[in-house]
Structure 1
Amino acid sequence: MRNLFPILTVVIAIFVLWYAGSVALNAAWAQDKAKRAGVELTTKELVLDTMSQKKPKLPAPHQVAEEMWKTTGDMVLKGRGFSKRSLIYHTWVTLSSTLLGFVLGTALGVALAVGIVYNRTMDMSVMPWVIASQTIPILAIAPMIIVVLNAIGISGLLPKAVISMYLSFFPVVVGMVKGLRSPDHMQLDQMKTWSASPGQQFWKLRLPSSMPYFFTSMKIAMAASLVGAIVGELPTGAVAGLGARLLGGSYYGQTIQIWSALLTAAALAACLVGLIGIVQRVVLKRMGMAS
């Protein structure tokens, strides 16, 4: 119960600030409507109006919750869980490119990290380019990636996955390089006294030592991959995915739709990162490490 108290306190504070913000930002429109209608709103009427507008500047939490239920649970009950108006369908589209980009980014990151640790030329030449690659704004490079891939006949899921990979490989590279280099000289010298080959040093010492760093970097990479998938949906004029929901909401001023897509993306990221955390605890426990 003691552990829950700080969490509940933060959650309550967020909701209080959210409601206060929705009243403050939506009050001007409510007062303008009342002025044109020649009536004067009481404080209660003003507050109720700010929380029931169809296109508010900042929707109230219950409006977002209603939209999320209407496009998820209610759709499922009606047997339309995967219709194109359902958040479940759009979440699945984004999740597909997120997972593919995450797998590609993790594989690329691990491969580069191994090369950087074992090859001094790669360490001196590749690592600076890996760092420099992250200075390019993803919003600038995403349309270029999509145009180039479309020009060679590649479209659909893969271009979005490539953008996800571009964002997700970097934390894996950095984490794995740090992890593979984490064994100290005494441990490496001990392996040499046992006449261990470089391959044995890698599998028996370096790789197990890198696991805590690897899982931590994967959590960051998963969140980055989701961001990449959503960004990848924006310049394509996509009609499916959470990015498409955000884009459609911005076109038509549907702020409630925008916020429901944002919170769905946040919940999806939390679930994916939490899943990696569960795998981390299981793997490290089996390896005799504290997670």
Structure 2
Amino acid sequence: MRRAAPVLVVLLGLIALWYAASVWMNATWVYDQAARAGESPTLMEVIPQTMAQERPLLPPPHQVASRLWEGLAGQAITSKRSLVYHGFVTFRGTMAGFALGIVLGVGLAMAIVRFRVMDMSVMPWAIISQTVPIVAIAPMILVVSNQLGIQGREVPKAIIASYLSFFPVLVSMVKGLRAPDQMQLDLLKTWGASEGQTFRKLRLPASMPYFFASLKVAVAAALVGTIVGELPTGAVEGLGARMLLGSQYGEPLITWAALFASAILAGILILAVGLVERLANRRMGVRA
């Protein structure tokens, strides 16, 4: 209970600020309508009207929670209005990009640690690649995919997701594979261990804490990349498509509900990575 108390206090504070901001931003419409009718409402009369607008500038928490619940539990999961359905579409793209990012990040990290020329040539370009805004790259990836004859939207989304997710894996794995000190490496050499044995017995186990820490960042980045990838591709399915739909039709509640559904999905994915980490540590004999 003591651990949860600070979190609850911060949460309640954020909700209170959210309600205050909703009243402030939504009151503009109320006052405008009152002025048209020649009325002058008091603040206590304005507040209830800011809490129940159909298209508020900033939806209050209870409206967002209601629309989120309706999208998650108030629809059949096969319905095109169900956030579960759209969440699964985004989840599928996220996992494809996440897997591709892991393969790319780990593969490059192994090459960088093994070959000095890779460290000097590839690593700087990997760092520079992350300075390019993803919103600028996403349309380019879509155009190139179309030129290559790649049909569908799943491949471009996976590429965009992997673009964001490979970098944290790369940096952490390079750090982890270089974690063993020279004394440990020299000891294995005196025992006649080959480079492959040194990698399997020393470098790889030493990199596991770094690897799983990077996965929690990478899976969230892959989710962001998938959602961004759904915007320029003209997708009609996925949480990104729901956000875009709400923006295009002036329905902020749709956008906010999809935003919170994305946050829930991100939390589930991070918890899943943490579970896999605990299972791997138990298998490797690591004590908590």
Alignment TM-score, normalising by the size of structure 2: 0.97
> 1:28 maps to what in 2?
28
CA separation in 1, counterparts of 2:78 and 2:88?
9
Q: Any unmatched runs of 5+ in structure 1?
A: none
> Are positions 1:110 and 2:106 aligned together?
yes
**Counterpart residue type for residue 21 of structure 1:** A
Aligned residues of 2:67 and 2:253 also touching (Cα < 8 A): yes
Shift in Å, 1:288: 3.5
**Counterpart residue type for residue 26 of structure 1:** N
> 1:100 maps to what in 2?
96
Shift in Å, 1:290: 5.0
> Are positions 1:148 and 2:144 aligned together?
yes
Can you list the C-alpha shifts for 1:159-181, whole angstroms capped at 9, x where unaligned? 10010011100110000000000
CA separation in 2, counterparts of 1:234 and 1:102?
19
Shift in Å, 1:86: 1.0
> 1:220 maps to what in 2?
217
Aligned residues of 2:153 and 2:233 also touching (Cα < 8 A): no
Q: Any unmatched runs of 5+ in structure 2?
A: none
Can you list the C-alpha shifts for 1:233-287, whole angstroms capped at 9, x where unaligned? 1111211111111111111111111111111111111110111112212322432
CA separation in 2, counterparts of 1:285 and 1:92?
30
CA separation in 2, counterparts of 1:117 and 1:16?
50
Aligned residues of 1:167 and 1:224 also touching (Cα < 8 A): yes
Aligned residues of 1:212 and 1:284 also touching (Cα < 8 A): no
> Are positions 1:126 and 2:118 aligned together?
no
Aligned-residue CA RMSD (Å): 1.1
CA separation in 2, counterparts of 1:288 and 1:181?
21
One of 199, 202, 207 as aligned partner of 1:205: 202
CA separation in 2, counterparts of 1:163 and 1:130?
15
Task: Give 1:219-238 correspondences, 5 Å limit.
Answer: 219-238=216-235
One of 167, 170, 179 as aligned partner of 1:170: 167
CA separation in 2, counterparts of 1:289 and 1:181?
20
> Are positions 1:136 and 2:127 aligned together?
no
Aligned residues of 1:84 and 1:90 also touching (Cα < 8 A): yes
**Counterpart residue type for residue 106 of structure 2:** V
Could you tell me the percent identity over the aligned residues? 57
> 1:41 maps to what in 2?
41
Secondary structure of the structure 1 residue equivalent to 2:74? helix
Residue-pair matches, total: 287
CA separation in 2, counterparts of 1:85 and 1:275?
26
> 2:275 maps to what in 1?
278
> Are positions 1:158 and 2:165 aligned together?
no
> 1:87 maps to what in 2?
83
CA separation in 2, counterparts of 1:48 and 1:290?
55
One of 236, 240, 262 as aligned partner of 1:239: 236
Aligned residues of 2:138 and 2:229 also touching (Cα < 8 A): yes
CA separation in 1, counterparts of 2:287 and 2:112?
27
